Amino acid sequence: MPVTTIESRTIDLAELAQQLRADAVRCSSRAGSGHPTSSMSAADLMAVLLAGHLKYDFSDPELPGNDRLIFSKGHASPLLYAMLRAAGVIDEEELLTYRRLGSVLEGHPTPRLPWIDVATGSLGQGLPIGVGMALAGKRLSAAPYRVWVLCGDSELAEGSMWESFAAAAYEGLGNLTAIVDVNRLGQNGPTRYGWDTAAYASQIGSFGWNTIEIDGHDPEAIERAYRQAEQATDRPTAILARTKKGKGVAAVENREGMHGKPLPNLEEALAELGQGANIRVRVAEPEYREPRMERPGRSIHLPRFDIGSTAATREAFGRALVAVGDASPDVVVLDGEVADSTRTAYFAEAHPERFFQCYIAEQQMIANAIGMQALGWVPYAATFAAFLTRAHDFLRMAAIGGADLRLAGSHAGVSIGRDGPSQMGLEDLAMMRPLWRSVVMYPCDANQAAHLTATMVDLPGISYLRTTRGETPVIYRPDELFPVGGSRTLVSSGSDKVTIVAAGVTVSEALSASEQLADIGIPARVIDAYSIKPIDVSTLRQAAAETGRVLTVEDHWPVGGLGDAVLDAIGGHLPSIRFTKLGVRGMPASASPTEQLAAAGIDADAIVNAARRLAA
């Protein structure tokens, strides 16, 4: 089956596949590491895709009509880079920099290369992200692109894959094709079903997918399967391709113990593969060439809450989100079947075409957001703070890939009350702070929450807003500004003996405590550290230097949250400061919000007692 190259000659697809194998072997051998055998099994699959079905303008990677190709089995990166060489966008010299210091050809793909949309390598994530891209194509965009995802059979053991199979079938994503490289061998021995493609077809087909079983080394069978996938416009297609790991080199073909290793003899392997071809494939460009979406100028009219009233910060988040959506046609909102609780239901009512109900599938919710932002959309994703822990690996990988995400975790801390510890987000600050380029914010009142919700729309990286279930006093005016990296000093005097640093629900407790402390002759400075990362280092250091004592109080475990952020800011610079950290130290149970704060030792009385000991 011939293909046309830029030299205007034809070449057999099998020869192109051998070139891809040879290049994968060569770059892995030069690096002394990598996964050539995992690349060799899928070479025929990718040769047919590259030569005849992928529609992509490599000179304009952001073109809305481009198909999207995701290597969910990211360890097969040598194959991906070999495809880029065959497409003429990298040369042999660059290919051989694979895995070397300073090279953009990393061990697993990242968007440091302009033709790669998302970082992959943690298995089970590429297909869920592909679902998000396909969902955007079906519901948000007029661009008729197709999403192709190369999967490995080992990753079919990941639960996130089955979340994506369910979601794609439910949404009828006929623009999504999963190409499963069933090569039988995992890192350590055979996979669960080996070459039994019928077992996979039965399981995936039960979700409503179109399934096709083929010999993954037969170009004609692969060609037919791709055409069938393109014609199945009402549902997604999974192509289950039986392949051999290490295909083409007898020393490694279908042999255990060769995963993640260069081939033992490079010259013999290249001779067996018939290396010598130098094929360049003219990849078809998309017919749809409308201009990409332009970012709007934003004029956001936020909700206003009166000082002296009470309101939940989750309520302010939901109402502010509507205002952000009114001003921003590129904003989309995703929820994990808790829209009434997170208050994203307001956005769903105002902008239903840009609201995505992801159900109780937090990994898929975050994957959808990652896929959508890669295509230029601006996603906000919300669920209970506690449940975001299920998707932390997706967030870790999103950070590696430079994704821009806006997350909201509601029902944080013991202050939610009687639902008990399974619903209390007590780890979320510690989970979000270490993420690369993350911003972590914890508002204490409704106007602050509304402002920070709007601020997130233009923040790069992963930003996280922690919201509270119960109502808190409104202490700030609606027009006040709260810059990222800032704080607010709410109580201060020249004779302060202790600094109390609080955030969120503990701010009102700290204010109450400061009044009680003033009555007993212990003036206390109160700082609202609403920006936990980046934290207001200069204000904290100045307060610590002037008072000599710092007390932090947070509705969170004492590890990794506000207290540690403050200690990081001042500890090594002012070693003589006396420091006390209040947080939730015992396992909570069901109780009222007031009882919970008291039992956890983070209410006003606990703050007073801790400040008295610190000031003694």
Q: Provide the pLDDT for residue 276.
A: 66
Structure tokens at 591: 């109780």
Q: Is 172 exposed, middle or buried (0-12, 13-18, 19+ CB in 10 A)?
A: middle
Amino acid at 441: M
**Beta sheet of 378-384, edge-to-edge order:** 355-357, 331-335, 378-384, 405-410, 462-466, 439-441, 531-533
With beta carbons less than 8 A apart as the criterion, state whether 441 and 484 touch: yes
Structure tokens at 29: 């051998």
Q: Provide the pLDDT for residue 285.
A: 96
With beta carbons less than 8 A apart as the criterion, state whether 77 and 298 touch: no
Q: Provide the pLDDT for residue 574.
A: 78
Among 525, 505, 509, CA closest to 606:
509
Identify the segments of the chain with pLDDT beneath 50. Answer: 1-9
Q: Provide the pLDDT for residue 3.
A: 46
- Give the integer Cα–Cα distance in Å for 126 and 367: 8
Concatenating the DSSP letter of every residue in 254-317 gives T-TT-TT---S-HHHHHHHHT------B-PBPPS--PPPPPPPP---------TT-EEEHHHHH
Q: Is 124 exposed, middle or buried (0-12, 13-18, 19+ CB in 10 A)?
A: buried
- Give the integer Cα–Cα distance in Å for 341 and 389: 18
Q: Provide the pLDDT for residue 10.
A: 53
Q: Provide the pLDDT for residue 280.
A: 94
Residue-wise pLDDT tens digits, 338-359: 999 999 999 999 999 999 999 9
Residue-wise pLDDT tens digits, 198-230: 999 999 999 999 999 999 999 999 999 999 999
- Give the integer Cα–Cα distance in Å for 163 and 406: 21
- Determine which helix (DSSP H) or strand (DSSP E) holds 181, and give its type and residue range: strand 176-182
DSSP state of 154: G
- Give the integer Cα–Cα distance in Å for 194 and 183: 8
- Give the integer Cα–Cα distance in Å for 514 and 604: 8
Write out the catalytic residue numbers: 362
With beta carbons less than 8 A apart as the criterion, state whether 185 and 191 touch: yes
**What residue ranges in 77-166 does DSSP mark as E strands?**
147-152
Q: Provide the pLDDT for residue 430.
A: 98
DSSP state of 416: G
